Amino acid sequence: MFDSGTIVIVVIALLIWAFLSVVLAMSFRTVVATNEVHIVQSRRKTTSYGKDQAAGNTYYAWPAWVPRVGIRIIRLPVSVFDVQLNEYAAYDKGRVPFVIDILAFFRIDDSNVAAQRVSSFQELESQLKGILQGASRSILAQSPIEEILEERAKYGKMFTDATNDQLKAWGVVNVKNVELMDIRDAKDSQVIQRIMAVKQSLVERDSRVAVAANQQAAFTAEIEAKRQVSIRQQEADEAVGVRVAQKDQQVGIAGQQAQQAVKEEEKTTAQKTMAVLEVNQVRQAEITRGVQVVNADQEKQMAVIRAEGEKQKTITVAEGVLQQMKLNAEGTRAQGEAKGAAETAVLMAPVNSQIALAKEIGQNEGYQHYLVTVRQIEANQVVGIEQAKALTAADIKVIANSAGPVDGVKSVMDMFTPKGGLQLGAAVEAFKNTEAGAKIIESLTGEKGNGTTGTQR
């Protein structure tokens, strides 16, 4: 049996081994990061550890030299990673050299397949670059450089389609289309530069044409705007002119109407003035006619006086011889009566004028009639005085058989008018036709009369 010392040693050894096992286990225990996958190759199988992996995300990374439990590990990212192909020399369909830059984004879809193809991520990147180089070389060699320059997106998609089938063999997939980042001339080549110069000149030409067209359009639009503004201004000026013309027309019409109103008022005033003048003329005509009537009456009265005078003269001549003394006496008496009648007429003239004036005023004939009447009275007065003077100077014996001495005097005065002469002649002829008259005429003149009272045998 084991003694106590041996047991203690064994116990201590077991404790040391347990401690070392725990320390070693803690040293080699590995937890896979969330963006990685670890492909562990053991003696019998290959197992993938990481997030969402069936084996979990922890394992013990025993060194490969440890017998039976030693392993090998390949660490690959499960996140998206990019592969850049910079300054890769390529050719177009016409063997024009140029350099391209390509950028591709990948993701490991099957880590076990990827682990079978590569031993490290760096090796995977190198192989993916080779895939991109082959795809770009085969595709770009089928197209001219001008088309490649103009349609980069198209060729990026072609690169993606060409690499999809190849990437499956590596357990990798494209995340997005491969991007053709840049195309430029290779060393000692100016093809792309010249193409770009041509393109730039075309762009410059197009831009200049576009600028010229835009400037032309702007200039045309400016001209059109100015034309519209000018038209609007002209329309506004026309409207203002029309309004001013309308205003002037209305002012002119108003002025004409005012003038017409003034003319109408002047016409009315003239009509009223003419009416006043007409009234004055009518009044004057009436006055003149009244005066003429008065004069006509006076002339008529004078004619009657003259006719009566002629008549009385004829009578006087006829009876003068037989009644000389009587006629002288009567003449003396008539002369006294004439003087008395004249004096009476002189004295009655103011009375008659006052009576006539009172009548005119009573009849409201107007002041003009009054003046006419005054003139008539004055004329009668003068006529009466002159008649009296004429009778006095004529030394005529008047035998008045009228109603009054004044009428007798008027009849005598008619003797000195043509009418009186005719009447006197007619009286003499009538006197000759009487028997007495014929005898008197015969005794005076020696001529026989044509008396009708007797018959001569």
| pLDDT above 80: residue 344 | no
Domains of the chain: 4-75 (no CATH), 80-189 (3.30.479.30), 295-445 (no CATH)
Q: What is the DSSP letter of 69?
A: T
Using a pLDDT cut of 90, give the percent of the chain over it. Answer: 1
Per-position b or e across 281-293, b if 16+ CB within 10 A of its CB:
eeeeebbeebeee
| pLDDT above 70: residue 228 | yes
| Residue 420: half-sphere exposure toward Cβ, Cα within 13 Å | 24
Question: What confidence tens digit (pLDDT) does each residue in 110-150 have?
Answer: 877 888 788 788 888 888 999 988 888 888 888 888 888 88
| Cα–Cα distance for residue pair 363/347, rounded to 1 Å | 25
Please tell me whether the overall predicted TM-score, pTM, comes out greater than 0.75 for this model.
Answer: no
Q: What is the DSSP letter of 354?
A: H
Strand partners, 105: 82
| Cα–Cα distance for residue pair 293/133, rounded to 1 Å | 155
| Cα–Cα distance for residue pair 377/360, rounded to 1 Å | 13
Q: Give the DSSP H/E element, type plus range, for residue 329.
A: helix 324-363
| Cα–Cα distance for residue pair 44/69, rounded to 1 Å | 10
| Cα–Cα distance for residue pair 279/97, rounded to 1 Å | 132
* φ/ψ bin of 402: left (φ > 0), alpha (ψ from -120 to 50), beta (otherwise): beta
* φ/ψ bin of 53: left (φ > 0), alpha (ψ from -120 to 50), beta (otherwise): beta
Asked if residue 353 lies in contact with residue 299, where contact means CB atoms within 8 angstroms, the answer is no
Q: Which of 216-225, 261-270, 381-390, 426-435 has the lowest mean pLDDT?
A: 381-390
Q: Mean pLDDT: which of 21-30, 74-83, 156-165, 397-406 is highest?
A: 156-165
| pLDDT above 70: residue 442 | yes
Question: What confidence tens digit (pLDDT) does each residue in 15-28 have?
Answer: 888 877 777 667 77
Using a pLDDT cut of 70, give the percent of the chain over it. Answer: 75
* φ/ψ bin of 364: left (φ > 0), alpha (ψ from -120 to 50), beta (otherwise): left
| DSSP conformation letters of 204-232 | HHHHHHHHHHHHHHHHHHHHHHHHHHHHH
Q: What is the pLDDT of residue 105?
A: 92
